[in-house]
Structure 1
Amino acid sequence: MNFWETITGSDLTREWKAFEARAAALPVDHKEAWDELKFSLAVPGDFSGRKLMPILDGVLGLLEEAAAEGQSARDVLGDDLAGFGAALTGGQGSRTYRDRWREQLNRNVARKLERLGG
C-alpha cells in the first residue's frame, strides 16, 4: 500500500469490491447473513475501515467454509447475528467514537468553565 492509497482509501474500496464479489457467489441464506453481519459490524463506531477489514474477511471466510461444507449460515453463526457481530467487535457497551467525542467535549467545556470561574 502506498501513501496515495492510504490517503484516498482506494485500497479499501478495492478490498470491499473483492468482498462483495466473494459474497455474491454464496448461497442465498449465507448472502443474507453476510448482508446483516456487515451492517452489524459497521455499527460500532470504534472501528475504522482498516481495522474492520480483517474482521469482515474472517466472517466472509467462515461463511464460505460453511457453504462449502453444506452447513446453513444459521447453523454456523447462530440465530442472533447482531449478537455475533457484537461479540466480534468487543461486545455490547463497548466505547464508540461518539463516546470518545462526548468525553472530549465534556473535558473541553469543563476546562473552559474552570478558566472563566476561577
Structure 2
Amino acid sequence: MVSFWNTITGNDMSADLKAYAKRIDQLPAGYPEAWAQMQAALMSGMNVSASFTGRDLMPVFAGLVDYLEEAAGDGLLIDDALGTDPASFATQAANANGIPLLLEKMGAQLNRHVHLKLGR
C-alpha cells in the first residue's frame, strides 16, 4: 500500500531526485551546477515533451547521474563531459531516450491541423 501511495503522490520520484542530488554533491566543482541546469531544462517543459507527471524523465535522470559520476571518475572537467551547454546535453539525452522535443511535437501537431484543414 505504501508503494502505491508513493507512486500516486510522486513521493517516490522526489526521493529519487534527492538521492541523485546527494550523489551529484559528491562530484567535483562544476558538476552540481551543471546538474541544476540539466534538471531545470528537463523539468521546465520548455525543451522536451514529457508526460504530465514527469515519470518518464526518471530513467533519463538516472542515466545522466550515472554518466556524470563516470565522467568525474575519469577525471573529466564538466565542459569536456557535457560541452558548454548542459541543458542542451540533457535535452538531447531525453530525446535519445524516446522523449520527443517540444518543438518537434508542436510541429507535428501543426502539420496535422494543416492537413485536416486542407482535407489531406
TM over 0.5: yes
Corresponding residue for 1:9?
10
Corresponding residue for 1:38?
39
Q: 82-91 or 3-12, which moves further after superposition? A: 82-91
Q: Which structure 2 residues correspond to residues 13-32 of structure 1 after superposition, within 5 A? A: 13-32=14-33
RMSD: 2.4
Q: Which structure 2 residues correspond to residues 1-118 of structure 1 after superposition, within 5 A? A: 2-44=3-45, 46-47=49-50, 48-90=53-95, 91=101, 93-95=103-105
Q: CA deviation at 1:89?
A: 2.9
Q: CA deviation at 1:92?
A: 5.8
CA distance in 1: counterparts of 2:5 and 2:104, whole angstroms? 32
Q: CA deviation at 1:13?
A: 1.6
Q: CA deviation at 1:28?
A: 1.4
Mind listing any 5+ residue stretches in structure 2 that lack a counterpart?
96-100, 110-120
Amino acid at match of 2:80: D
Q: CA deviation at 1:43?
A: 2.3
Q: TM-score normalised to the size of structure 2?
A: 0.70
How many residues are aligned here? 99
CA distance in 1: counterparts of 2:16 and 2:91, whole angstroms? 22
CA distance in 2: counterparts of 1:52 and 1:94, whole angstroms? 17
CA distance in 1: counterparts of 2:10 and 2:87, whole angstroms? 27
Q: CA deviation at 1:86?
A: 2.3
